[in-house]
Amino acid sequence: MTLGDEIHMMGNWFIIHFTENEGMAFGMKFGGSFGKLILSIFRIIAVVAIGWYLIKISRAKESTGLIISLSLIFAGAMGNIIDSAFYGLIFSESKFHEIAQLFPPGGGYGHFLHGKVVDMLYFPVLRGAYPQWIPIWGGDEFIFFRPVFNIADSSITVGVFILIIFQKKLFKKENQ
């Protein structure tokens, strides 16, 4: 697949859309090359902290739901770190209508911790246009659930939602 290619799995409801995310969630960037390094180091520190906390709560026999939700966050963060750390080292630059090469002769397009994260899952559930009478956006295309994401992002999101929705139940032992 080349950058921007799409495979429609269920009509226009589920699409595999190959894209490379240079920064954080929703493609936001953080201060160029130096910002990318800071973001990668922050991710590593966060994963180490979550891993340490997971070991602590596992030994203390805390709530299984808490362990599962934090494990989902940990696994998703690790997946994105691995992508960011190594993708740029082993692949050439992706361009529209040009397939990236695995282990190119001159090396990859980026340095360690400077790679992009591959996103591919796209669920444009509702499509339409804003009514003309709405200021600024009138007549513009509307797509509900526009972000393209990957399985690691899904894992983080599900883990965070579990923590938010069931927080009173999951942290009951700590609150007492």
Catalogue the E-assigned strands of the chain: 6-8, 15-21, 117-122, 126-129, 141-144, 148-149
Instruction: Give me the catalytic one of 5, 83, 119, 140.
Output: 119
pLDDT at 12: 78
pLDDT above 70 coverage of the chain, percent = 93
Q: Which of 5, 83, 140, 153 is catalytic?
A: 153
Question: Does residue 174 carry a pLDDT above 60?
Answer: no
Q: What is the pLDDT of residue 75?
A: 95
Q: Are 65 and 74 contacting, i.e. CB atoms less than 8 angstroms apart?
A: no
Q: Is 145 left (phi over 0), alpha (psi -120 to 50) or beta?
A: left
pLDDT tens-digit profile of 114-131? 888 888 888 888 888 999
Catalytic, 5? Answer no
Q: What pLDDT does 1 receive?
A: 65
Task: Give the mean pLDDT of the chain.
Answer: 86
Residues 22-56 have pLDDT tens digits of 777 666 677 777 888 888 888 899 999 999 999 99
pLDDT digits (tens, 9 = 90+) for 83-117: 888 988 998 888 777 778 888 888 888 888 888 88
